[in-house]
Amino acid sequence: MTMKLPILFKTLKLLGLLLVIPASIFTISPDIANTLNTPKNTEQVKRLKLTLSGHTAPVRALTISVSGRVLASGSDDQTIKLWNPATGALLQTLTGHRERIKSIVITPDDQTLISSSFDNTIKFWNTQTGKEISTITEKTGVRAMLLTPDGQTLITGSGDQTIKFRNLKTRKIDRILKVETTVLAISRDGKTLFSGGENGGRIRVWSMVTGKQLRTFTPPLPKKSDLINGSERPSAPITLTVSNDGKMLLCGGHDDSFQSGGVRTTDGKGFKAWDLNTGKLVHNLSLGTNIDALIISPDSKTFIAGGLGRKIVLRDIKTGESIMELAGHAGGIYGLAFSSDGKILYSGSGDKSIKIWQLKPSA
């Protein structure tokens, strides 16, 4: 018993020393504590400006008017909502479609919103009153829709493998192109139309003046070294966009690179970009998820992509290098839009919300 007392006394002495040491020594200093909040996490909080709630199902379509005064969202809840993008206030809820909203556009004068739905209709709405103006029925369904920059022509890709050009004033069809179409894009000057379909990823380029096909862009077949089951092919485009400077064409599609050989059907590279001057494929890569939404910044320097991965990806359009990722949505990203000055980004998600992000200082 006497042999263990010295050890006991030493232990008590050590405990006594610990008790008199200032508690501040055991607290994390502010400098160290700040390192636990990574710059990336801090940036998320700073950049997220507003979250808009009101839809009861995933938000699939998103657009902002040329004036920047109206933000419109279309949802699986069969409604379209108009918001004040500055305050987040809900301006109107448009009801009348009987199925999910496919796409929406707003005329340059802010007066008319045009929507397409899986109920095989195109509806025209008064943005001030929220009232339905007229409806066009497409029996085979509307697979893609856009408005020319001058606001005079509505272009739709239909399930009957046609692209229809409608005079917006008369609603009459001026021209029809016979081609399979699931996605559409148009150059900023309104002179060139781009269409894609489920045809091995091929994208067709059309003259808006003559209606003639000018050229095609076809993704290369995957290399043998990249094949798993040997039957993979380039993904059909889900979304298509062209830069304001007219130099780059970007395509987003399916990405099943994470799938095993028995399930995989694509080349696993859901993002592709072409140089429109040279015709060369500049990027052919995976962003780790299907690309359901894809836009280019107004200055044509950055592309923004979203999909099932829940994060919004911003990359340099020339190098493909990552600029930043925005996390905050609890569902996939299905709609993206930019303010005209490129400072504000809008995102619509499967979590039923719209988020407004401040990418650059407002002043």
- Is 89 within 8 Å of 100 (Cβ atoms)? no
User: Is CATH 2.130.10.10 what the domain over 49-358 is classified as, yes or no?
Assistant: yes
pLDDT at 260: 60
What is residue 256's predicted lDDT score, i.e. its pLDDT? 74
| pLDDT for 200 | 75
| Mean pLDDT along residues 13-39 | 34
pLDDT at 211: 95
pLDDT at 31: 29
Other beta carbons less than 10 A from residue 211's beta carbon: 14
At residue 171's C-alpha, the angle toward residues 295 and 116, to 5°, is 40
- Cα 164 from Cα 32, distance rounded (Å): 61
Q: Which residues share a beta bridge with 91? A: none
Q: Can you say how many angstroms the Cα of residue 288 is from the centroid of all Cα atoms in its chain?
A: 14
Measure Cα distances from 165 to 153, 173, 184, 197, 281 in Å: 6, 6, 12, 18, 29
pLDDT at 101: 98
Position 20 pLDDT exceeds 90? no
C-alpha torsion 194→199→201→204, nearest 10? -20
pLDDT at 35 over 50: no
Q: The whole model's pTM is what?
A: 0.85
Segment (H or E) for 225: none
Confidence of residue 225 (pLDDT cuts 50, 70, 90): low
Section 4-25 average pLDDT = 37
The more confident residue out of 255 and 149 is 149
- The pLDDT confidence band at residue 127, using thresholds 50, 70 and 90, is very high
Q: Kindly state the percentage of the chain with pLDDT values over 90.
A: 73
C-beta of residue 340 within 8 angstroms of C-beta of residue 326: no
* pLDDT at position 7: 37
Query: pLDDT tens digit string along 267-304?
Result: 778 899 999 999 999 999 989 889 999 999 999 999 99
Percent of the chain with pLDDT over 70: 82
Residue 75 sits at φ, ψ, to 5 deg, of -135, 165
Contact predicate 241/294, CB 8 Å: yes
Q: Which residue is it, tokens 């994060």?
A: 311
Domain boundaries, the chain: 49-358
Of 60-64, 117-121, 166-170, 225-229, the range with the lowest mean pLDDT is 225-229
Question: Could you count the other beta carbons within 10 Å of the beta carbon of residue 233?
Answer: 13
- Beta-bridge partners for 240: 251
Q: How many other C-beta atoms are found inside a 10 Å radius of the C-beta of residue 307?
A: 27
Average pLDDT taken over every residue of the chain: 86
Q: How confident is the model at residue 37 (pLDDT cuts 50, 70, 90)?
A: very low
pLDDT, one tens digit per residue, over 46-95 is 899 999 999 999 999 999 999 999 999 999 999 999 999 999 999 999 99
How many whole angstroms separate alpha carbon 270 and alpha carbon 220? 13
Q: What is the pLDDT of residue 255?
A: 81
Residues 6+ apart with CB under 8 A from 208: 148, 186, 190, 191, 192, 193
> In this predicted model, which residue has the larger pLDDT, 233 or 93?
93
Q: What is the pLDDT of residue 221?
A: 76
More confident residue, 214 or 30: 214
- Res 226: pLDDT: 67
CB atoms within 10 A of CB 341: 12
Whether residue 25 is predicted with pLDDT greater than 60 in this model: the reply is no
Question: From CA 351, how far away is CA 347, in angstroms rounded?
Answer: 11
Residue-level pLDDT at 227: 66
pLDDT at 234: 77
Report residue 331's pLDDT band, with 50, 70 and 90 as the boundaries: very high
pLDDT per position as a tens digit, 178-220:
999 999 999 999 999 999 997 778 999 999 999 999 999 998 8
- Averaged pLDDT, 120-148: 96
